[in-house]
Amino acid sequence: MQQHITVEQLNELSDKSKNKILKFVLEKNGLYHESISLGAYIDEKVVHYVNIGRMIEFLGDEYIDYLIEYDGENGALDCDVCDCLWEAVKEVLDE
């Protein structure tokens, strides 16, 4: 199971949205400082911080229902948990 997003997924975002999610996850990991350029963090190392746990934190409890999109036939998620969360994060960032 995928645990974090990819660089390609991160690059789907506008610069404003990238900055918002990167600031959030870097602050949560004690790595953010006002003087750093967030654009410099877009690499394989930083996407590890945009993981399932951090995306759930970012979305908050009201978005947990987003994960509960079951297929009526077999009760499985319609997509990988990480990918489902990433779609929800992108929707929130676009608001």
pLDDT digit string, tens, across residues 76-85: 556 688 888 8
Q: What token pair was written down for 61?
A: 């409890």
Asked whether residue 2 is domain-assigned, the answer is no
- With residues binned 3-state (H G I as helix, E B as strand, rest as coil), the percentages for the chain, rounded to 5, are 60, 5, 40
3-state SS, residue 51: strand
What global pTM score does this model have?
0.77
Domain housing 36: 7-94
Calculate mean pLDDT across residues 38-55.
78
What are the φ/ψ torsions at residue 51 (nearest 5 degrees)?
-110, 180
The domain total for the chain is: 1
Asked whether residue 52 is domain-assigned, the answer is yes
